[in-house]
Homo-oligomer: A and B are copies of this chain.
């Protein structure tokens, strides 16, 4: 069912909600009408929270994880093992690994994977900053926790090539995770085990 009524404010609201991924026009209309059933303050809070989120969220200066502060709590914590850096594609991968409770080191969030088909090259990721970070304060080990996909493999290979000259131990999580799977959807036991069973990265 299309909205053929000339109600500009409704149209605009539906248009905005329809921008969200996975939200079709019909769902957007349902969401817009839901917002009308809510208190004015609730909708104000809803909108302003999202605006504030986009405006004031930080990417950690050290690991590029999302953070309320310039340096994220993980990088700032003296209780974390600063001799290990776990390289991941996405903040959701940080969450997935944190949920296993197995890893106590630091992270480095690439912000994606090398994917020539989508026009994403190494320069759009935080790889150069990883190299710099590692040269400035060398860790004992760098663990690649990237998806077992062609893009993940390519990215791991590229990073390994960049970091080889530093002589730092490079490992990759065990391919206990099924080929083609994303980290985000792996169950915690499998993901935890593949972190424990990580193997030397060979190029």
Binding site for B on A (CB under 8 A): 1-10, 12-13, 15-17, 19-22, 27, 29-36, 38, 40, 42-57, 65-68, 72-74, 91-92, 94-96, 98-99, 184-185
Chain B contacts for A16, CB-based, 8 A: 45-46, 49-50
How far in angstroms is the closest Cβ of chain B from A28?
Answer: 10
Cβ-defined contact, B50 with A2, below 8 A? no
Pick the contact of A53: B10, B21, B66, B94 (CB < 8 A): B10
Within the assembled complex, what's the spacing in Å between the Cα atoms of A91 and B32? 12
Pick the contact of A38: B5, B33, B54, B95 (CB < 8 A): B54
With A7-B66, A10-B57 given, is the CB distance from A1 to B96 under 8 Å?
yes
Cβ-defined contact, B92 with A5, below 8 A? no
Cβ-defined contact, A99 with B51, below 8 A? no
* 15 A-B residue pairs with CB within 8 Å: A1-B95, A9-B68, A10-B53, A19-B38, A20-B34, A22-B27, A22-B30, A32-B50, A33-B92, A35-B50, A40-B54, A43-B50, A43-B51, A43-B53, A46-B47
Chain B contacts for A91, CB-based, 8 A: 5, 33
Within the assembled complex, what's the spacing in Å between the Cα atoms of A43 and B15? 13
With A1-B99, A7-B68 given, is the CB distance from A12 to B53 under 8 Å?
yes
Chain B contacts for A73, CB-based, 8 A: 5-6
Chain B contacts for A10, CB-based, 8 A: 53, 57, 66
How far in angstroms is the closest Cβ of chain B from A93?
Answer: 10
Chain B contacts for A2, CB-based, 8 A: 95, 99
How far in angstroms is the closest Cβ of chain B from A34?
Answer: 5
Cβ-defined contact, A31 with B36, below 8 A? no
Chain B contacts for A30, CB-based, 8 A: 21-22
